[in-house]
A and B are shown apart, each in its own frame.
Chain A
Amino acid sequence: MFKDPDFAKKLRNQKSLLLLSIPFVLYVLVFNYAPLFGWIMAFQKYKPRDGFIHSQFIGIENFKLLFRGNEFLYCVRNTLAMGVINLVLGTICPIVFAILLSEFRFNIGKKFVQTISYLPHFLSMIILTGIVFDVLSMENGMLNNFLIGIGVIDKPIQWLAESKYFWWIVGFANRWKETGWDSIIYLAAITSINPDLYEAASIDGAGRLSRIWHITLPGLKPTILILLIMNVGNVLNVGFELQYLLGNDLVKSVAETIDIYVLNYGISKSNYSLGVAAGIFKSVVSIILVFIANTSAKAMGEESLY
C-alpha cells in the first residue's frame, strides 16, 4: 500500500476522513488498549507509589500465590459449576420452550406468551435480585408458601442461607430472565424448516413427538451447535452480579466467583497484582475453552466459528 505512487495524493484527497478518524483512534487507544498494559502488574509486586516502571518484577509468583490458598480454588470451582449449570439449562430450556411454543396451536395465546417471555430480559439485575428475594423469602415467600400449600415441606426453608441451593438458585434465576429471549433464535430456525417435511412425516404416520424428534431437532442442530460453541467460550463469564447481590456470609464459599475475587482483592483490598493475575487466568482459560469447543465441532464435521 505504501509503495503506491499515488498514495500521498490519495491521502491528501481524504484529509477530512482522516481528520474524522483521529478522535476515534485516540478514543479506542485510551479506553480499550491502555488498560491492557495493566497486565504487567500480574508479573510485578505492584505498588501504586512505584508505578509500572519501578515496581519489582517477580515473574509468575502471583499466579503461584493464587493457587496456594483454597480461596481462589473455591472461586474457580464455583465459577465452573455455575457456568456449567448455566450452559446446560441455558441450552435446554430455550430449545424446549421454542419447540413447545412453535407447536402451540392457539395463535393469539402464542403471541401473548411470546411477548410475556421477553419481558424479564429487559429488567435489571437489581430488579431480578429483588424478585428472587421475594420469591425465596422465609416470611411469606412465594416458593415456601407454594411448597407448604401442596404439602411438600412442613416449614419454610431458608433458601438463600444454605449453600447446597445457591448454584441452582442462580441458574434458575437466569433462566427466569432469559429463557424467552434466548428462544428467539431457535424459533427463527424452526420457522425456516421446510413444512413439506412435516407433511410427509405425518402422511407416513409420524405423531407429534416423533416429528419433533426426527424433523425439528435435526433442523435445529446447526443453530444449537453454533450457540453451544459460543456459550462454551462464555462458560466462565457467569458474571458476578447475581452472585454478588444474592451472596451473603453464610453461602460465601459457594457464591464467590473469579470476578468477585478480582473485585475483592483488586478494589477492596487494593492488591492489584493478585487481582489482575486472577483476571488473566480467567481470560486464558476462556480462550482455551473456545478453542477446544471449536475444534471438536470441526472434528464432528459441523460448522465452526472460525
Chain B
Amino acid sequence: MAELTKKVVTTPSSPIPQAEKPKRDSKDIGSKTKHSIVSRRTTGDNIFDALNTVFMVIFTIVIMYPLLNMIAVSFNDGLDALKGGITLFPRVFTTKNYHTVLSQQNMLTAAKISVLRTVIGTVTSTIVTALLAYVLSRKEFLFKKQLSLLYVVTMYVSGGLIPIFLVYKALGMTNSFMVYILPGMVPAFSMLVLRTYMNGLPDSLAESAMMDGAGHVTIFIKIIFPLCMPVVATVALFTAVGQWNSWFDAMLYNRMDSDLSTLQYELMKTLSSVTNQHTNADTMKNASASITPTTVRAAATVVTALPIVILYPFLQRYFVAGLTIGGVKE
C-alpha cells in the first residue's frame, strides 16, 4: 500500500527530465542561441532562415488576425458590419455595441457571478488546498500516505457525469452558487505541487514555532503559507483561469436560475443562435428576432476575454514556471 502511494505520487514529476533542473529561468526556454559558434553561413542556411521567418510571420497572423478582427468588429457599426470586409480596423467607429452589452441586465448579473465565482472560488480553493498540502507535508503525521493516496486516486478515477450530477443534486447544489465553489475545491494536482514545495522548506521553521507553543493552524497561516507565495500564485492563477472560463457547470446545474448564469454561459447562448443561423433557415426565421448582431456578440466576446488579456503577463510568467515545477503537461 505504502509503496503504491509513493509510486503514484512521484509519477507526475519524474517522467520528464527537464523538470529536474529547476534553476533554469523558465522565461529563457528556447531563447538560447546555440549555434553562435558557427559563423560560416551557407546558402542553405539563408534559405532556411528566410523560410522560417515566413513561417513565423504566417503563424503570428493566423493566431492574431481572428482576435484583432473580433476587436475591430466590436467597435464597428452593426448595420455597416453586415456588408463585411472589416479587417484590422473598424470602418464606422462606434462604442454602441459595448453600451448594448453593458446595459443588458443578464450580462451584468452574469458578470457579477463570474467575478464572484472567480474570486471566492480561487481564494477558498487555494487556501484549503494549501492547508491540505501542509497537513500532508508534516513528516510526523501518521496517515499522510493514506490521505495522499485518497486524493491522488481522484486524478485518475472519476464517477462520470451522471453519478456526479446525481450526487450534487442530492446535496442540493442545483440552482445554487455553491456548485461553482465546492466541486473541484481541492484539486489533487495543485495539492501535489504545493506539498512538494512545502516538503522543500526547512523543518526547523515549524519546529521552533512549535517550541514557542504555536499550533498547526498558526504555523500554517503565519509561517508556511507566506513562504509558499511563488507556488501559491501559480496554483491560484490556474484555478482563476479555470473558474473564469468554465461554462458547463452553469448550464448543467443552474440552467433554471438566470440569476446564477455566468458570462461564458451567456456568451454561449448568443453562439447557439449563430449555429442555427448557419444551418437551419427555418429556425433562423423563427429566431431572427432573438439573434444577437455580430457586432454585439464581438463586443461581448471582448468583454469576456478582457480579464484574461489583462492577466496575461502574469499568466505567462507563472504558468510556464508552473509547468516546470509540476513537470507535466497540464
Contact = CB atoms under 8 A, between A and B. Distances in A.
A184 B161 contact: no
Contact of B48 (A41, A103, A180, A187): A103
A182 interface: yes
Contacts of A184: 29, 320, 323
A104 B245 CA distance: 33
Given A24-B186, A226-B15, A107 B37 contact: no
A133 B252 CA distance: 23
B103 interface: no
A31 B304 contact: no
Interface stretch (B105-113, B152-160, B224-232): B152-160
Interface in A155-200: 158, 160-161, 176, 180-182, 184-185, 187-193, 195, 198-199
B271 A129 contact: yes
B163 A36 contact: yes
A135 interface: yes
A188 B294 CA distance: 41
Interface string A261-277: 01100110000100110
B201 interface: no
Main SS at interface, chain B: helix
Nearest to B266: A126
B150 A28 contact: yes
Interface string B263-276: 01001100110111
B234 interface: no
Nearest to A4: B142
A286 to B, nearest CB: 10
A21 B142 CA distance: 11
B212 interface: no
Interface in A1-49: 1, 7, 10-11, 13-14, 16-18, 20-21, 24-25, 27-28, 30-32, 34-39, 41
Nearest to A303: B15
Interface string B52-85: 1101100110111111011000000000001011
B16 A176 contact: no
Contacts of B246: 124
Contact of B69 (A14, A134, A181, A246): A134
Contacts of A187: 29-30
B329 A230 contact: yes
B289 interface: no
A31 B245 CA distance: 22
B142 A276 contact: no
Interface stretch (A55-63, A65-73, A202-210): A202-210
B161 A262 contact: yes
A227 interface: yes
Contacts of B65: 142
Interface of A: 1, 7, 10-11, 13-14, 16-18, 20-21, 24-25, 27-28, 30-32, 34-39, 41, 97-98, 100-107, 109-120, 122-127, 129-131, 133-135, 137-140, 142, 145, 158, 160-161, 176, 180-182, 184-185, 187-193, 195, 198-199, 202, 207-209, 222-223, 226-227, 230, 241, 245-246, 248-250, 259, 262-263, 266-267, 272, 275-276, 279-280, 283, 303, 305-306
19 contacts: A16-B217, A24-B186, A32-B158, A34-B167, A36-B163, A107-B33, A109-B53, A110-B31, A116-B64, A133-B271, A137-B278, A158-B278, A160-B279, A185-B329, A189-B18, A195-B34, A259-B161, A263-B161, A267-B161
Interface of B: 7, 11, 15-18, 21, 24, 28-35, 37-38, 42, 44-45, 48-49, 52-53, 55-56, 59-60, 62-67, 69-70, 82, 84-85, 131-132, 135, 138, 140-143, 147, 150-151, 154, 157-167, 171, 182-183, 185-186, 215-217, 241, 244-248, 252, 264, 267-268, 271-272, 274-276, 278-280, 294, 297, 301, 304-305, 308-309, 312, 315-316, 319-320, 323-324, 328-330
